[in-house]
Structure 1
């Protein structure tokens, strides 16, 4: 192991946070000269520059940013371990890096995150909200909440909810353009599409008994954010094919209406994706258990 003093890593973290060695020294209670020596020692041991220095600021190099990411996670794990073996053994600490679809975050998860943080004030959530897929391992995400099946065998998938997408539209849209009664009718309608898993979803598939129908839809609105597609549908812009769990408030309030009741889509699972089977921090394990409990309330209603 090239790094001989864990305290030198602390200098790296505090210098990055404060933007200067003087700021890091003040936080750590050491002299600026001692902080500077620690950083130089770390760079010498690793054989690389971690900061670009100027008279005004210190900027992390690419290598410095990489080490900072890992050092930050290491210190978080140490803090969590300390809490688990001391009198705070029930207290969760550290940062949770969570990725989730924007619409699901807006309609559901934000309130649940608030509840989890209220229960565990030592935890910080860093949320990446969007529909573009992240590499859970490369992007150092602790939990990715995503629809579909994992393509990477290195990930662990914990099931949260199983749903069938439905076709909906606003009452105003249906009044102006009529209500489709078969999947084939969708060809004459304006269908709002959005990216899912990195590709645009224009093939809508339906089943009725033994019959399966796949329709390629079209429309004048397509977006890479499902929450915006949702907003367009509520505004009367077209038909939307989406899981009912995220639409439940608008369905209950009558802002959206389900059509094609006699046809159903394939079940579409929602998972919590985790980067490894070998080690899971306590805060991550408790967070996934919390999500599982929250979604279990809706499991029978949205199958």
Structure 2
């Protein structure tokens, strides 16, 4: 316990890839940070980093010590949170990860509402369309579309999520409006990329019929950022598949219009993700309960924006004919 601060510095330096950045985060000067790391290495009789002027790289010993150090620090933090829970204390920082569009358009506003109820809570909001490693990035809560395959995470359902094909009125006036999937070959399309690659296989269901359109990547606009895809659609650059949560305000204001409303794109329900084996601090639980309520309230409003189309389960999608 005498070198707990040194261990925290080491863990932060490994996460950030920079000893000086870790020092700044913990309120240390570069010289103090360097001295504390040297003291830790001396006590362990092991070199934890290979250091150059440009790079900080973990040694094999450093990687082993990092894994054990992170587990120990999480246990201490969880113990502190458990004590606070006994005192019903809702305070401290909550680190949240969310997709870019949703984070900017709705989540920021909701978190402001939450802080009016719990002014001692602070937030670190990380916006990314990829699912970051919750452990490595020290994330308490992630809001994501669909269900992750990571069994170490709890996926708590928050709300349904219709995904719609949409475009700006200006684009539709210029290029015409597609009525069915085969019409998409004559249109400009905006593709969102993921870790697995660009999502350019668009599938639509109409009753018992499924049609698939493969967007030609050589002519498509591509981005890995949902906010950019939405902005391109608003600018009239083409058609985009977007979550109703991201484009609700644009639909209400007439900046975007749903096209091919009779053809349903597969849904991707919203989930809150958090660590299965970590203590859920009172502040995190309070945020989760608050967001669950806000999602339920808003979901009913969004239903009215999208024409009712037959619902297909993932199993039904597999058995429908092409």
Using structure 2 for the length normalisation, give the TM-score: 0.75
Q: Contact 1:13–1:71 at 8 Å: present in 2 too?
A: no
Cα distance in 2 for partners of 1:152, 1:92 equals 28
Q: Contact 2:248–2:302 at 8 Å: present in 1 too?
A: no
Matched, 1:241 2:241: yes
Cα distance in 2 for partners of 1:71, 1:21 equals 25
Moved more, 118-127 or 211-220: 118-127
SS class of match (2:160): strand
Residues 1-303 of structure 1 mapped to structure 2, 5 A cutoff: 6-10=1-5, 13=8, 16=23, 17-20=26-29, 40=39, 43=41, 45-48=43-46, 62=58, 63=62, 66=66, 73=74, 76-85=77-86, 89-196=87-194, 198-218=196-216, 219-277=219-277, 279-302=279-302
Moved more, 112-121 or 178-187: 112-121
CA-CA distance at 1:77 after TM superposition: 3.6
CA-CA distance at 1:267 after TM superposition: 1.8
CA-CA distance at 1:50 after TM superposition: 6.4
Moved more, 117-126 or 228-237: 117-126
Moved more, 9-18 or 141-150: 9-18
Deviations 1:239-261 (A, max 9, x none): 11111121011100000011112
Deviations 1:189-247 (A, max 9, x none): 00111124542111111111111111112443110101000001011111111111210
- With over 3 angstroms needed to count, the CA separation of the structure-2 counterparts of 1:44 and 1:119, relative to structure 1, is farther
- With over 3 angstroms needed to count, the CA separation of the structure-2 counterparts of 1:212 and 1:301, relative to structure 1, is farther
- With over 3 angstroms needed to count, the CA separation of the structure-2 counterparts of 1:84 and 1:262, relative to structure 1, is closer
RMSD, aligned α-carbons: 3.2
- With over 3 angstroms needed to count, the CA separation of the structure-2 counterparts of 1:275 and 1:100, relative to structure 1, is same
Cα distance in 2 for partners of 1:44, 1:136 equals 31
- With over 3 angstroms needed to count, the CA separation of the structure-2 counterparts of 1:277 and 1:298, relative to structure 1, is farther
CA-CA distance at 1:175 after TM superposition: 0.6
Q: Contact 1:162–1:302 at 8 Å: present in 2 too?
A: no
Gaps of 5+ in 1: 1-5, 25-34, 54-58
SS class of match (2:152): coil
CA-CA distance at 1:21 after TM superposition: 9.3
Q: Contact 1:50–1:60 at 8 Å: present in 2 too?
A: no
Cα distance in 2 for partners of 1:133, 1:234 equals 26
Moved more, 161-170 or 66-75: 66-75
SS class of match (1:186): helix
CA-CA distance at 1:23 after TM superposition: 7.2
Q: Contact 1:76–1:95 at 8 Å: present in 2 too?
A: no
CA-CA distance at 1:61 after TM superposition: 7.5
Q: Contact 1:79–1:94 at 8 Å: present in 2 too?
A: no
Using structure 1 for the length normalisation, give the TM-score: 0.79
CA-CA distance at 1:146 after TM superposition: 1.1
